Amino acid sequence: MVFVTRKAHFNAAHRLHNPAKDDDWNASTYGKCNYPNWHGHNYVIEVTVAGEPDPDTGYVIDLGMLMNVIEDKVLEPCDHRNLNTDVPFLSGIIPTSENLVKVFYQELQESVESIAAEGSVLYSVRLFETERNIAEYCPFRQINI
């Protein structure tokens, strides 16, 4: 199995706020991330595809084509946007990194797998909210706790 990763970046604003909870709960749970006038991040997204290289091309996936899908499905809708209000596929979702990686995976999966080598899969999506805060969604890994 070969793993191929493409990295991209985008900038976006968001507010962590659960409308089902009161203001005190939101302020104590989310701290500065709950400020009513939003805050922003310089996000980095990594999209990893797993499979065997195509015998004709030697590619698991053409990285240029993968970048086009990332641009179409994530960067164009999210870059320089407010993730709470401007991105239809995020409507009703608290835009934590944990929630974002799952939704980004779902947005990317069909298009990525349609251009990858036969039998290849979208393996994972990682999102760097900051240099130190990273979330990863990888439905193929089983963790027994």
**Residues forming the active site:** 33, 80, 129
- How far is Cα 16 from Cα 94, in angstroms, rounded to an integer? 6
What gap in Å lies between CA 58 and CA 118, rounded to an integer?
Answer: 12
The whole-angstrom separation of Cα 4 and Cα 36 is: 39
Cα atoms found within 13 Å of the Cα of residue 103, Cβ hemisphere only: 19
